[in-house]
Structure 1
Amino acid sequence: MYIPEHYKITDEDLIDEFIRYNGFATIISPNTEYALITHIPMELEYDDQGNRLLRGHLAKANPHGKYLLENPGATAVFLSDFNHYISSSWYNYAEAPTWNYMSVHVSGPVRILDDRETADSVRDLTKRHEKDIGGDLDFDKLPSGVLKQLRYVTGIEMKVEKTEAVFKLSQNQDTINFDRIVQKLKATGSPKSVKMADAMMKLRDLFYNG
């Protein structure tokens, strides 16, 4: 991924936080004609050696799973759930308009999980997101007929070998223009403009004092 130096993020804790919050990934594998692309939720974990792992599952009928068995290298793309147009009229000088966004690309070899590992992965995913919504669904108490649906999914695990993170949040501007952009985004008042303004302010100290 092309990343201008001033937009590059290398802080692993910040990247991990981003992945956990934006856990719906796009898995991409190169192919002879067109790339294979699948959208799945993934969980970030660490093994006993401290290696970062991404676990998820896809439909067994999806040919991407078989392809990964034979061609294990892949990239997982994580995007923030918001991005926003930035008008150059918000600057105190003449410039072209642009777009702010955040993305993390994670690449590495993929291993196909066995049945037990797949069940554990789905259980962990369910438990985490039930907690997020204040739910009380217990995966292990689902009817056996429901649990048998696990036979129709393929669990995967990616060992993270390469991470690229871009947070393009106007940090190339001076603090005066940065703050002007934040105020204009807040004034726009849409859900995504407010989220963008909040993200920029959350990272302001890192950009200018880090």
Structure 2
Amino acid sequence: MYLPQQFRNTDSAIAQRIMREHPLASVVSVGENGFPVLSHIPMHWQAVSLWGENAPEHGVLLGHCARANPQAQLLASKPQALVSFMGPQAYMSPGVYADKQRVPTWSYLAVQAKVHTRIVDPHEDRDRLLKCLIADHEPSYAKQWRELPASYTEAMLNGIVAFEMQITDLQCAVKLNQHRPEAQAAMHAAYAAGPANAQALARWMEDIGLVPPAPVQG
């Protein structure tokens, strides 16, 4: 992705946080006709392989899609893919600057990962992968899943293609006007008073030290 140096972030903890807090990723493969094929797939990041093997430096992503999705066959035949995560994002008004010779822009956090895909075939491994996603989003559902009839769970598992993606390269963009410190306080105030996506950016500005943390109420 286009990534100016001032917005390039190399803190692995920040990239991991973005992937965990915003798990719905865009998975891009190259189709048979050379045109990109894209699917929106929830992903689970973890530091180690599903099989306990040594993972690459940036960890692995676990996910699945419908067996009928053409991307499933592409990931099996062409394991290289691109996975993109979009974190909080919002418009930024030039009004945060004291001078008028400014233009509007957009603030955002994003992660882009190059991956090598490994299809998860055995039934028990697919079940284990699903439990990782359940643990992320609704841990209490694990009990309900275990109590469902085997005929039903097997049919559900047979209807998906599950995969583990080893991250071979990782880029993280944190575009929060770091190169314009004179406007950061005004930008933070504007975002803190805005809608939920803008408020999320205000919290990120606090978390990475661009502005002091907001005082605790009460």
Q: Write 1 or 2 for the structure with the bigger share of helix.
A: 1
Tell me the SS of whatever aligns to 1:20.
helix
Q: Distance in 1 between matches of 2:84 and 2:16?
A: 13
Amino acid at match of 2:200: K
- Is 1:112 equivalent to 2:102 in the alignment? no
Amino acid at match of 1:194: Q
- Is 1:103 equivalent to 2:110 in the alignment? yes
**Deviations 1:105-138, CA, capped at 9 Å, x for gaps:** 011211111132211101221123114xxx4542
Residue correspondence of structure 1 range 24-39 to structure 2 within 5 A: 24-31=24-31, 32-39=33-40
Residue in structure 1 matched with residue 138 of structure 2 by the alignment: 130
Residue in structure 1 matched with residue 199 of structure 2 by the alignment: 194
**Deviations 1:57-95, CA, capped at 9 Å, x for gaps:** 000011111111111100111111x31111112111221
Amino acid at match of 1:183: A
Equivalent of residue 91 in structure 1, options 87, 97, 103: 97
**Deviations 1:39-59, CA, capped at 9 Å, x for gaps:** 111111213424211110000
**Deviations 1:184-204, CA, capped at 9 Å, x for gaps:** 2223x3222222211222112
Q: Distance in 2 between matches of 1:75 and 1:202?
A: 28
Residue in structure 2 matched with residue 78 of structure 1 by the alignment: 85
Residue in structure 2 matched with residue 19 of structure 1 by the alignment: 19
Q: Percent identity?
A: 25
Amino acid at match of 1:53: V
2:29–2:37 CA contact under 8 A, matched in 1: yes
Q: Distance in 1 between matches of 2:12 and 2:197?
A: 25
* Aligned residue pair count: 200
Q: Give RMSD over aligned pairs.
A: 1.7
Tell me the SS of whatever aligns to 1:83.
strand
TM-score, scaled relative to structure 1: 0.88
Residue in structure 1 matched with residue 214 of structure 2 by the alignment: none
* Structure 2 unaligned spans of 5+: 212-218
